[in-house]
Amino acid sequence: MALITLGAAFSAPKRRPKRYRASGAPYDVGGNRGYYIASLPRPYPQNAPQRRVSAAASACGIRKGISKSELMTKMRDCIPGQFGK
């Protein structure tokens, strides 16, 4: 599948079943090949508690891909101080 990015939109081939002819049918059905253009999903708006947790996590250095031991240390040592302010 080729994904073509056009700024804030993308295009990809449609996923459709192959054309086939049922037994006794006068013509083929299925197929309808082509491409579609769609906009990329926007990030959802965060509410106040989500913004507060996100700000605390970024201030403590919690990010995607850190080790579990590092995450546990930061959750134990840094996060309570961020919410105590």
| Burial group, residue 74, by CB count within 10 angstroms (0-12, 13-18, 19+) | middle
pLDDT digits (tens, 9 = 90+) for 53-77: 999 999 999 999 999 999 999 999 9
3-class DSSP state of 45: coil
pLDDT in tens, 34-60: 666 777 778 899 999 999 999 999 999
Helix and strand numbers (H, E) in the chain are 3, 3
Global pTM value? 0.51
